[in-house]
Amino acid sequence: MTTFTSYRIDDYQVILYGNDLDGAVQRWMAASIHFYTSGKRIGIANFARQGQTAPDAAIDGGLIIMNAQAEQFERTLDLLRHEEIVYLVWHPHHDEKEPNDGDAYIITKRDHVGEDRP
């Protein structure tokens, strides 16, 4: 039986990273969005820089780490800004070679077809 971990997102914080081309820290990510429920951080979405590949998603002590390509950043912000109910979900997969394997994703509540909000 697969056990999902799901949190309703109450608040979020956006972090945009600058370049550090000459420094020791070479970030693969350009931005992060931290997700909160009842004041507790429950997850992070990291977005790769153009030309970089995002690593696999993970869960660490209940903290969901969703890694995505740069083009998903604006779509994610759009969901957070315009949807009333948004969840962050971890869906584990059984994989002998990768014990922490799974998918992290953001999902909205079900809406009626043709629903249009002002």
Torsion of CA 36, 42, 45, 46, to 10 degrees: 110
DSSP one-letter string for 6-71? EEE--EEEEEEPPP-SSSS---SEEEEEEEEETTEEEEEEEEEPTT------EEETTEEEEEE-TT
| CA end-to-end span of the chain | 41
pLDDT at 109 over 80: yes
What is the band of 112 on the pLDDT scale with cuts at 50, 70, 90?
Answer: confident
Span 79-88, pLDDT tens digits: 999 999 999 9
pTM of the predicted structure, to 2 decimals: 0.85
pLDDT at 38 over 80: yes
Please name which of 47, 68, 48 lies closest in space to residue 57, comparing C-alpha atoms.
Answer: 68
Residue 11, pLDDT score: 97
What is the band of 13 on the pLDDT scale with cuts at 50, 70, 90?
Answer: very high
Residue 94, pLDDT score: 73
Residue 115, pLDDT score: 64
